[in-house]
Amino acid sequence: MFGFIGETEVLQEPTQNVTHYYLFTHLDFSFSFNNDRIIEANVSTDSRFRRDISGFDGPLDLAFTYSVSWTETDALHAHRIEKFSMSAFRQQHIQIHWLSIINSFVLVLLLTGFLAIILMRILHSDINQFAGDDDPETGLDDESGWKQISGDVFRVPAYPMLLSAMLGMGAQLLSLVLCLLSMSALGTFYPYTRGAMHSAFIALFAMTASIAGFVSSRTYKMLGGEVWVWNIIMTGSLFAGPLFIVALFCNTVALSNESSQALPFVTIVKVFLLWALVSLPLTIVGGIAGRRMTDKWEPPCRQTKIPREIPSIPWYRQGPVQLAVAGFLPFSAIYIELHYIFASVWGYKLYTLYGVLFLVFLILLVVTSFITIALTYFQLAVEDHRWWWRSMFSGGASGMFVYVYCFFYYFHRSEMYGFLQASFFFGYMAVACYAFTVMMGTVGFYSAFVFVRNIYQAIKSD
């Protein structure tokens, strides 16, 4: 049920235009029922019953009235939402969604064609040329730079513990989002019940914590790490820590403004105990399992003692340009759907096309994977072996574009204003974009890792 509590009106005075603020003092409620079940509820206002509250700073003595009407209907209780679903997304909106899917699908086809026709042909030619050369030293002296850095490409990157923890967090969030979207697409949640999805998010986050611990410890052992306790603590706190800080700040702002958005202290304690007693222990269990189930990893190429010097490269092949390309293409695949999600989360619109959203998310995963692989090859081709963190940043670069879009949406698409609303919007969206960046960065990293491992296994540089 939605309704307006007042309205504004600009009146022309002799010297200037004056804005008047009116508050509706009478509400008319109308209900439709079928036997003992309420099918529809509406509220309307009448401009005849309004009070001018312009210029009042203190308390007002107002008398509110309401009227109620009941109408019997033949509509079934199970179909009571269909009317609002059609009104929320009219036919032209549905066409826009399908155009978004077609645009994303074409982008996937172009990237797939690029990798299959151009990139794979180049790799196939390089590998055949290297395999057909009797002298390995000669094979490494050709113009293909990616083969010349075989002794450095699997060198342990900087900050291996942080990288492992971020990959564990990204794997957990990816599994959480896939579960949540699958449940939504299958109709598990009653339409328009945002509280149910929030509760499911918290519960799934706690239950999928073991995935974070498993992936993090497995990667950390592969990179030769030994400080297991700090690795598990970092994995369990990498998302929960920033979320608690932002939530505490926003809650403090809400309390200072006496807003109903302030969370009760009991709710905060419950969420903290859920993380401390369920999520963190499951992270520890997953970390122990990942450590014990992982054998020592042997890279396909023998590592040199001294790192190879990275040659200078043109500006358009350096990191910032690659990250801009890596972020723009996936963002263009989700831009239209992102607008509707923002309008639902931060506005009064209702989102129901979860099947379309799930399909767009799968396309996003494919686009991110392909573009990261392509950019990783370009990086290796110029003899830059620092691909570990670059692939992580390339996969998650779309999160930066999403946060930039937040500023555009707040100032040009929404009607939010004031420090309270800005704190909630930019604070929680910063956490959401941070999680989105790490999640998509994990997809990009493992796509690049599988690609790099396979091409260097193919040439058998040892």
Same domain, 377 and 325: yes
Same domain, 229 and 282: yes
Same domain, 15 and 40: yes
d(CA 83, CA 302) in angstroms, rounded, equals 65
Same domain, 235 and 338: yes
Q: What is the mean pLDDT of residues 14-31?
A: 84
Q: What tens digit of pLDDT does each residue of 348-407 get?
A: 777 777 888 888 899 899 889 989 998 998 888 888 888 999 999 999 999 999 999 999
Residue 372 lies in a domain: yes
Q: What tens digit of pLDDT does each residue of 408-424 get?
A: 999 988 888 889 999 99
d(CA 339, CA 315) in angstroms, rounded, equals 33
d(CA 187, CA 63) in angstroms, rounded, equals 43
Q: What tens digit of pLDDT does each residue of 172-188 get?
A: 999 999 999 988 888 77
Residue 301 lies in a domain: yes
Q: Are 402 and 139 in contact (CB under 8 A)?
A: no
Q: What are phi and psi of 197, to 5 degrees?
A: -70, -35
Residue 423 lies in a domain: yes
Which strand (E) or helix (H) includes residue 111? helix 91-113
The pLDDT of residue 61: 83
Same domain, 253 and 204: yes
The pLDDT of residue 44: 87
Q: What are phi and psi of 42, to 5 degrees?
A: -135, 155
Same domain, 75 and 100: no
Residues spanned by the domain of 168: 91-459
Cβ-based neighbours of 175, under 8 Å, separated by 6 or more: 208, 211
Same domain, 64 and 132: no
- Structure tokens, 433: 């974009």
Taking each continuous run of H as one helix and of E as one strand, the counts in the chain are 16, 6
Band (pLDDT 50/70/90 cuts) for residue 137 is very low
Same domain, 393 and 267: yes
d(CA 307, CA 152) in angstroms, rounded, equals 6
End residue of a domain, out of 42, 61, 80: 80
Band (pLDDT 50/70/90 cuts) for residue 149 is confident
Same domain, 58 and 108: no
- Structure tokens, 101: 């899917």
Token pair 């042909």: residue: 121
Q: Are 350 and 340 in contact (CB under 8 A)?
A: no
Q: What are phi and psi of 183, to 5 degrees?
A: -65, -40
Residue 201 lies in a domain: yes
- Structure tokens, 146: 């990616």
Residue 216 lies in a domain: yes
Residue 86 lies in a domain: no
Same domain, 14 and 149: no
What mean pLDDT value characterizes the chain? 83
Q: What is the mean pLDDT of residues 256-268?
A: 87
- Confirm whether pTM is higher than 0.85: no
The domain total for the chain is 2
End residue of a domain, out of 80, 109, 132: 80
Same domain, 58 and 136: no
The residues that bridge with 42 in the sheet, in sequence order, are: 30
Q: Is 349 exposed, middle or buried (0-12, 13-18, 19+ CB in 10 A)?
A: middle
Q: What tens digit of pLDDT does each residue of 39-50 get?
A: 888 888 887 888
Q: Are 5 and 21 in contact (CB under 8 A)?
A: no
d(CA 129, CA 125) in angstroms, rounded, equals 6
End residue of a domain, out of 14, 45, 80: 80
d(CA 264, CA 291) in angstroms, rounded, equals 39
Same domain, 35 and 113: no
Q: What is the mean pLDDT of residues 120-126?
A: 70
Residue 1 lies in a domain: no
d(CA 33, CA 174) in angstroms, rounded, equals 42
Residue 394 lies in a domain: yes
Band (pLDDT 50/70/90 cuts) for residue 139 is very low
Q: What are phi and psi of 448, to 5 degrees?
A: -65, -35
